[in-house]
């Protein structure tokens, strides 16, 4: 059942009916966010303060979690919570994310490798730091850089991953360079499973040398 079909029954649920207008709007937007992004982060980096701050979207999701779970169960989708990494996310056969351009996909795969490696080194945080040069070095190790991507292509890939809250650049996108630092959010664990990443990277390396950006 699609969101539009489910939306037709949401107003018939007593729990939802009992909420005030503002809370109804918050719950509806949270459901849309989970459908669009598949997860909600508990903490996000705030550039103005230079610190990780509590995400109000997570508070709303957590407050109404049992209702949201019941809502998604109609479509055979599970809503899970990982308190260790600070994530609420959905899982099921019907949860299909958007397709990404090739460079953004390669970045995503490498970010998962970097995240797992640093966490294995007994990291004290669920958020991992990396740089653009480290990402490119990893791709080079897998012989996936036929040529250096154009700056506009790099910014596009980083912007997409920032939009989906997988990556948070600490510098302005216009100022990205090899030394630009970035945060990898624990949401990377929801997007990809570690055992699949190296196989996927190797499959890219075995592909042809065309310059197109296929979506996967």
pLDDT at position 195, please?
A: 53
Q: How many helices (H) and strands (E) does the chain have?
A: 10, 8
- Rg (Cα) of the chain, in Å, rounded? 19
Closest by alpha carbon to 81, among 92, 93, 69? 69
**pTM attached to this predicted model:** 0.79
What's the CA gap between 23 and 21, in Å, rounded? Answer: 6
pLDDT at position 199, please?
A: 64
Please report the beta strands in 102-202, taking only residues with DSSP state E, as ranges in sequence order: 128-131, 167-169, 181-184
pLDDT at 12 over 80: no
pLDDT at position 196, please?
A: 60
Cβ neighbours, 10 Å, residue 204: 16
What's the CA gap between 141 and 143, in Å, rounded? Answer: 5
Q: Which two tokens stand for residue 54?
A: 């509590």
pLDDT at position 56, please?
A: 95
Do the Cβ atoms of 135 and 110 come closer than 8 Å?
yes
pLDDT at 186 over 80: yes
CB under 8 A, 24+ apart: contacts of 39-44: 39/87, 39/88, 39/89, 39/90, 39/165, 39/187, 39/190, 40/87, 40/88, 40/89, 41/86, 41/87, 41/165, 41/185, 41/186, 41/187, 42/86, 42/87, 42/88, 43/86, 43/127, 44/165, 44/168, 44/185
pLDDT at position 3, please?
A: 47
Largest CA distance in the chain: 58
Stated as kind and residue range, the H or E segment containing 90 is strand 87-91
* Domains within the chain, CATH numbers bracketed: 3-91 (no CATH), 102-205 (1.10.10)
Q: Which two tokens stand for residue 162?
A: 């920032």
Say what percent of the chain tops pLDDT 90: 48
Do the Cβ atoms of 161 and 107 come closer than 8 Å?
yes
């Amino acid at each position: 059942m699609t969101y539009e079909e489910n939306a037709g029954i949401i107003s018939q649920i007593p729990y939802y009916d009992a909420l005030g207008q503002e809370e109804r709007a918050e719950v509806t937007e949270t459901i849309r966010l989970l459908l669009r992004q598949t997860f909600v982060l508990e903490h996000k980096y705030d550039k103005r303060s230079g610190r990780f701050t509590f995400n109000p979207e997570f508070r709303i999701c957590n407050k109404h979690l049992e209702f949201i779970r019941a809502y998604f169960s109609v479509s055979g989708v599970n809503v899970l919570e990982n308190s260790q990494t600070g994530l609420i996310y959905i899982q099921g056969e019907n949860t299909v994310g958007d397709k990404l351009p090739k460079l953004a996909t390669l970045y995503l795969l490498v970010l998962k490798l970097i995240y797992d490696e640093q966490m294995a080194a007994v990291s004290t945080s669920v958020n991992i730091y990396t740089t653009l040069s480290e990402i490119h070095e990893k791709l080079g190790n897998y012989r996936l850089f036929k040529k250096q991507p154009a700056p506009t292509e790099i910014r596009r890939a980083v912007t997409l991953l920032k939009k989906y809250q997988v990556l948070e650049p600490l510098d302005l996108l216009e100022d990205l360079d090899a030394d630009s630092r970035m945060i990898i959010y624990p949401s990377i664990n929801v997007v990809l499973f570690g055992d699949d990443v190296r196989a996927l990277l190797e499959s890219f390396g075995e592909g042809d040398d065309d310059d197109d950006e296929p979506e996967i």
